[in-house]
Amino acid sequence: MKTYDRAKYIAAQLAWDSGRFGRRWDRVRVLAAERGYIAPPLGGPDDDTNDSPVSQRAIIYAALEDRPAETEAIVKASTSWYDVVGAIISMRLRISLETADRDEADAQEKRSRDARDPHSRSGQGQGVCRTTARPVAIGDVLATSDVGSRQGSRDDGETSAQ
């Protein structure tokens, strides 16, 4: 376990207390102190993950919002905020790759299912006629004289209400 002199400890406590961290950080603060890193992560209360460069605080806060249990486990296993940020980035990359793999597997399953089912709605199956609608011009509508009108013509040339 690391030891700190009184001045560094008090400075770290003041940084936490004045940094507007909020209740979400309480457990993380304790876990970090137990692991020997007593100062808060670098960054301000208004930092965002879209900032350039992104701060430690913004990355950790976003992870706390999205995956609090996993983030706390990372803090508990790390020895610095630098390690925490690296582990969070690795976790997000892993999740992103797993999601992409799952999406690809789902798409492959759908393509396979569509190939077996000739009545598939996607039009990918065998025997399914694929047609596209032709744009309709106003002239086409007017050229169809009796279709859809309230009056129709009789054989004798007179028009009457139907």
- For residue 150, what pLDDT is reported? 45
Q: Please give the tally of structural domains in the chain.
A: 1
- The range of the structural domain enclosing residue 63 comes to 6-115
Task: Count CB neighbours of 71 within 10 A.
Answer: 24
Q: What is the pLDDT at residue 147?
A: 44
Residue 1 in any domain: the answer is: no
Residue 144 lies in a domain: no
What is the percent of the chain where pLDDT is above 70?
72
Cβ proximity of 38 and 62 under 8 Å:
no
User: CA 63 from chain center: how many Å?
Assistant: 13
Q: How confident is the model at residue 1 (pLDDT cuts 50, 70, 90)?
A: low
Is the residue at 148 inside a domain? no
Supply the pLDDT for residue 133: 58
Residue 19 has pLDDT above 70, yes or no: yes
Instruction: Collect all residues with Cβ–Cβ distance below 8 Å to 151 and sequence separation of at least 6.
Output: 159, 160, 161, 162
Q: Mean of the pLDDT values across residues 21-29?
A: 94
Does the structure show a pLDDT above 90 at 69? Answer: yes
CA distances from 75 to 45, 70, 155 (A): 19, 9, 89
Could you count the other beta carbons within 10 Å of the beta carbon of residue 144? 9
pLDDT one-digit tens code per residue, 78-109: 999 999 999 999 999 998 888 887 888 888 88
pTM above threshold 0.75:
no
Residues 3-27 have a mean pLDDT of 93
In a domain, 100, yes or no: yes
pLDDT > 90 in the chain, percent? 54
Tokens (6 digits) for 59: 């990355």
In this prediction, residue 151 carries a pLDDT of 45
In whole angstroms, what is the distance from residue 30 CA to residue 66 CA?
20
User: What gap in Å lies between CA 79 and CA 9, rounded to an integer?
Assistant: 17
Which one has a higher pLDDT value, 28 or 131?
28
Q: Which run of H or E residues covers position 152? A: strand 151-153
> How does the average pLDDT of the chain come out, rounded?
80
| Residue 137 reports pLDDT greater than 70 | no
Is the pLDDT at 160 greater than 80, yes or no? no
Contact criterion met (CB below 8 Å) for 55 and 47: yes
Coil, helix or strand for 85? helix
Residues 125-149 have a mean pLDDT of 51
DSSP 15-50: HHHHTT--GGGHHHHHHHHHHT--SPPSS-TT--TT
151: exposed, middle or buried (Cβ count in 10 Å: 0-12, 13-18, 19+): exposed
